[in-house]
C-alpha cells in the first residue's frame, strides 16, 4: 500500500488542508492527517489543483519527431501541471484509423507521464471530404471521443452535418477549427487589420472565424449534436456563442492562453514565433475572450501547444509554420490574466483547465476534483512565484516559445499522475 501525504496546500485556492493519497486515489482531505508510512510533500503556501486536462495538444508523433515526441510532449505537459492531454490528429500519418489512434494511445501509455488521448480526424487525411473511421476509433482501445481536423476547418457544411450526426451514436464531439478558407486565403498569415495593412502581410479577418462558428452552432441545433469550438479568437465568435448557449444549443468552446494574453501588435517585428493559427488578434478581441472565459461563455482553456523545429520557423513570416508552444506556460498565463487580475478564482481556473475539459472530452479518471475517492491527479502551483520564461529551459524539443523573456507570478511546483509524482520541485521526476 503506497501512501502520499501532501501537507498544507490551499485546496483550489481555498483553505489549507492535507491530502492523503493511498494507492493512487485520494483517501482523505483534512487536517493533521496520519503521516505514518507516508511519503510527505510539504505544500505550504502552494495551491493544489486537480491535474490539468488539455483539450488541444500537438505532439507531432508520428511524423515530426524532430519537433516533439509523445514522450517529450507528455513531459512538457507534466511540467505545466497537466495529467491528461488530447493529441491532435494532424500527424503524419493522420490519426484517421483505429490503428493510428491505438498507436498514439499506446505510446502515451509507454511514456507514462500524462494520459494521452488521441483525437481522431473528422475526415480522411484531413481532406475535408470523406469521414474518417470515426466509429472504429471510438470502439478502439483508444476510446476516441473527440474528433477534429484541427489545422484545417471542416469547411463543407454537408460533411460537418454528417460528422455531427454520426458521433451522436456514442456521445462524441466534433472540435472545429473555425476558419472559412475562402475568406482566409492560402497566403494569409495573420489577423487582417490596420497592422497587417501597414506591414503588407496578407491576413484574414475575424469574420472568417465568426461565420463558421455561426454555421456550426446552427448545424448543432439542427442535428441535436454537440459541437466544440476550438481556440476561439474573436469577439464575434463570443457573441455567437453567447447567443447559441442562450438558445440551449449544445456547444462548448475553448480559448488558448496566448489568445488571452498576446495581441497582434507583436507581429510588428515579423517574428515568426508569433505566427499562429488562429492569429493573434487586437486588444478588443482579447478583452472579449477574457470576459467570455470569466462569465462561462467560453468553457475551457486549451493550449494548442504547437511545437515546431527551428528551421520551420526561420523562414520569411508568410512562409514560416503556424503555432507556438503552450503546455509549460499555460497555468502561469491564465493565472496572470484571469486570477491575479481578480477576474477568476483558483477554483474557476481548476474548472476551466481541468473539470470542464475532462467533461467535454468524456475522460474518465480525470478532472474529478480534489475529492475523496477520485484518482489522485493533481498539481501544486506556487501562486506567489516570480519567474521569467527562458525558452532554453523548456523540456519540449522545440523553442517556439512566445513568452520568452516574460515574467509571471505563478509556477507549477509538482504534478501527480494517480498519486505518482511526475514533477517535483518544478522539475521532471
Partner 1 sequence: MKKHLLSVHDLSMDDVETLFATAAEMHDVQHRQVKKLPALRGRTVINLFFEDSTRTRSSFEIAGKWLSADTINITGKGSSASKGESLRDTVLTICAMGVDALVMRHSASGAALQVSQWVDAAVINAGDGTHEHPSQALLDAYTLQRYFEAKNLGPLEGKHVAIVGDLTHSRVFRSNVGLLTKLGARVTVVAPPTLMPSGVGPWSQDAGYATSYDLDEVLPTADAVMMLRVQKERMSGGFFPTGREYTVGYGLTRQRLSLLRQDVPILHPGPMNRGLEIAADAADAASSVVLDQVSAGVAVRMSILYHLLAGEGNEK
92 annotated to bind ligand = no
In the complex, the smallest distance separating the C-beta of residue 201 from partner 1, rounded to whole angstroms, is 5
The DSSP secondary structure of 148-214, one letter per residue, reads --TTS----HHHHHHHHHHGGGGT-EEEE----TTTS-TT--EE-SHHHHHHT--EE-THHHHHHHH
Site for partner 1, residues 310 to 329, rule: CB under 8 A: 310-312, 314-320
In the complex, the smallest distance separating the C-beta of residue 197 from partner 1, rounded to whole angstroms, is 4
Tell me: does residue 364 bind partner 1 (CB under 8 A): no
Site for partner 1, residues 200 to 259, rule: CB under 8 A: 200-203, 205
Through-space distance between the first and last CA atoms of the chain, rounded to whole angstroms: 21
Contact map string, positions 121 to 150, toward partner 1, x by CB under 8 A: ------------------------------
Tell me: does residue 263 bind partner 1 (CB under 8 A): no
Q: Which stretch binds partner 1 (CB under 8 A): 41-49, 112-120, 195-203, 332-340?
A: 195-203
Q: Which is nearer to partner 1, 208 or 330 (CB)?
A: 208
**Any catalytic annotation for residue 304?**
yes
* Distance separating alpha carbons of residues 176 and 106, to the nearest angstrom: 25
Q: Which is nearer to partner 1, 120 or 203 (CB)?
A: 203
* Distance separating alpha carbons of residues 352 and 256, to the nearest angstrom: 11
What's the Cα-to-Cα distance from 122 to each of 31, 63, 393, rounded to whole Å?
48, 19, 35
Q: Residue 118: beta bridge partners?
A: 87
- Which of 304, 312, 348, 382 is catalytic? The answer is 304
Q: Residue 116: beta bridge partners?
A: 85
The sheet that has 173-176: what strands, in order across it? 146-147, 173-176, 227-229, 251-255, 300-301
| Bond into 47 cis (ω within 30) | no
Among 224, 269, 296, 405, binds partner 1 (CB under 8 A): 269
In the complex, the smallest distance separating the C-beta of residue 348 from partner 1, rounded to whole angstroms, is 35
Q: How many residues bind partner 1 (CB under 8 A)?
A: 27
User: Among positive and negative, which fits the CA dihedral 385, 390, 393, 397?
Assistant: positive
Binding site listing for Zn(2+)? 56, 58, 150, 177, 231, 304
What is the contact surface with partner 1 in residues (CB under 8 A)? 192-203, 205, 269-272, 310-312, 314-320
Catalytic residue numbers read 304
Amino acid at each position: 500500500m503506497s501512501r502520499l501525504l501532501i501537507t498544507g496546500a490551499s485546496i483550489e485556492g481555498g483553505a489549507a488542508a492535507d491530502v492523503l493519497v493511498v494507492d493512487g486515489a485520494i483517501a482523505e482531505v483534512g487536517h493533521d492527517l496520519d503521516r505514518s508510512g507516508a511519503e510527505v510533500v510539504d505544500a505550504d503556501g502552494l495551491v493544489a489543483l486537480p491535474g490539468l486536462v488539455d483539450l488541444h495538444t500537438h505532439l507531432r508523433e508520428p511524423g515530426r519527431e524532430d519537433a516533439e515526441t509523445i514522450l517529450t510532449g507528455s513531459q512538457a505537459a507534466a511540467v505545466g501541471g497537466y495529467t491528461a492531454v488530447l493529441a491532435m490528429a494532424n500527424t503524419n500519418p493522420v490519426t484517421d484509423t483505429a490503428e493510428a489512434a491505438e498507436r498514439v494511445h499506446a505510446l502515451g501509455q509507454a511514456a507514462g507521464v500524462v494520459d494521452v488521448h488521441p483525437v481522431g480526424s473528422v475526415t480522411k487525411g484531413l481532406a475535408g471530404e470523406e469521414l474518417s473511421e470515426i466509429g472504429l476509433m471510438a470502439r478502439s482501445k483508444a476510446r476516441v471521443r473527440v474528433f477534429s481536423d484541427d489545422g484545417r476547418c471542416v469547411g463543407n457544411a454537408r460533411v460537418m452535418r454528417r460528422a455531427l450526426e454520426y458521433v451522436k451514436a456514442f456521445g462524441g464531439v466534433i472540435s472545429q477549427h473555425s476558419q472559412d478558407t475562402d475568406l482566409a486565403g492560402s497566403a494569409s498569415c495573420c489577423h487582417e487589420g490596420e497592422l497587417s495593412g501597414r506591414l503588407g502581410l496578407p491576413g484574414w479577418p475575424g469574420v472568417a472565424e465568426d461565420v463558421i462558428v455561426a454555421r456550426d452552432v446552427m448545424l448543432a441545433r439542427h442535428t441535436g449534436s454537440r459541437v466544440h469550438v476550438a481556440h476561439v479568437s474573436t469577439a464575434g465568435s463570443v457573441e455567437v456563442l453567447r447567443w447559441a448557449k442562450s438558445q440551449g444549443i449544445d456547444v462548448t468552446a475553448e480559448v488558448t492562453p496566448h489568445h488571452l494574453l498576446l495581441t497582434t501588435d507583436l507581429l510588428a517585428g515579423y517574428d515568426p514565433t508569433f505566427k499562429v493559427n488562429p492569429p493573434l488578434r487586437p486588444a478588443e478581441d482579447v478583452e472579449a475572450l477574457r470576459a467570455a472565459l470569466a462569465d462561462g461563455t467560453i468553457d475551457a482553456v486549451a493550449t494548442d501547444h504547437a511545437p515546431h523545429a527551428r528551421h520551420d520557423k526561420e523562414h520569411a513570416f508568410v512562409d514560416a509554420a503556424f503555432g507556438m508552444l503552450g503546455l509549460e506556460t499555460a497555468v502561469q498565463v491564465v493565472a496572470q490574466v484571469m486570477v491575479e487580475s481578480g477576474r477568476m478564482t483558483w477554483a474557476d481556473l481548476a474548472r476551466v483547465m481541468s473539470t470542464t475539459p475532462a467533461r467535454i472530452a468524456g475522460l474518465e479518471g480525470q478532472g474529478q476534483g480534489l475529492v475523496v475517492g477520485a484518482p489522485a491527479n493533481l498539481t501544486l502551483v506556487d501562486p506567489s512565484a516570480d519567474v521569467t520564461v527562458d525558452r532554453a529551459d523548456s523540456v519540449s524539443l522545440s523553442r517556439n516559445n512566445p513568452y520568452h523573456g516574460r515574467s509571471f507570478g505563478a509556477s507549477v511546483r509538482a504534478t501527480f499522475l494517480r498519486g505518482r509524482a511526475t514533477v517535483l520541485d518544478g522539475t521532471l521526476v
